């Protein structure tokens, strides 16, 4: 079982490592500010409460999560002696969610272009919300625990097969 990746491409030269740290930090800060600005703009502006901007807001939030999952660890690894990447589960899950979101966005545009008169009937806000919830919970299954089954109550446990 692979538990870590060793990064051999980074230099051992301290000056180059500091330069890379500053460069990646600036890119990370710009990414956080840009995605945060887009999410806030879509939420605040009523003119942008359309399906396309709803999905773009989700994509920006996902990019914000994905960047915050990978870049801080990369910044630590650039300056450390041991240059290793560990715990990639969250990044893999976010990558999977991004693939699903991009497919949903493509389907939304497909319906808007090829069935413009039926677009509002096929793609309602209820559909958008259910797509979003299922997209974020795609790899998470809902199953009842057998020892909690009773006539009054059934408790459910969220389990994710990608995280041990």
Give me the pLDDT at residue 157, please.
36
User: What pTM, to 2 d.p., does this model score?
Assistant: 0.70
Domain boundaries, the chain: 4-159
**122 vs 127: CA distance, rounded Å:** 8
Instruction: Provide the percentage of residues in the chain whose pLDDT is more than 90.
Output: 26
What is the distance, to the nearest Å, from the Cα of residue 47 to the centroid of all Cα atoms in its chain? Answer: 25
pLDDT tens profile 89-112: 777 888 888 888 898 899 889 999
Burial 87-113 (b: 16+ CB within 10 A, else e): ebeeeebbeebbebbeebbeebeebee
pLDDT value for 6:
65
Q: Residues 39-60: what's their mean pLDDT?
A: 91
Phi, psi of 98 (to 5 degrees): -65, -40
Whether 63 shows a pLDDT value over 70: the answer reads: yes
The CATH code that applies to domain 4-159 is: 1.20.1070.10
């Amino acid at each position: 079982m692979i538990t870590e990746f060793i990064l051999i491409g980074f230099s051992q030269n301290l000056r180059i490592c500091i330069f890379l740290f500053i460069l990646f930090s600036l890119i990370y800060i710009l990414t956080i500010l840009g995605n945060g600005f887009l999410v806030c703009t879509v939420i605040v502006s009523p003119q942008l409460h359309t399906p396309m901007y709803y999905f773009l807001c989700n994509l920006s939030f996902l990019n914000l999560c994905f960047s915050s999952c990978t870049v801080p660890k990369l910044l630590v690894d650039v300056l450390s002696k041991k240059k290793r990447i560990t715990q990639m589960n969250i990044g893999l899950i976010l990558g999977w969610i991004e693939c699903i979101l991009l497919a949903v966005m493509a389907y939304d545009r497909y319906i808007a272009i090829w069935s413009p008169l039926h677009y509002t009937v096929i793609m309602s806000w209820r559909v958008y919300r259910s797509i979003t919830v299922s997209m974020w919970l795609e790899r998470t299954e809902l199953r009842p625990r057998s020892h909690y089954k009773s006539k009054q109550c059934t408790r459910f446990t969220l389990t994710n097969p990608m995280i041990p």
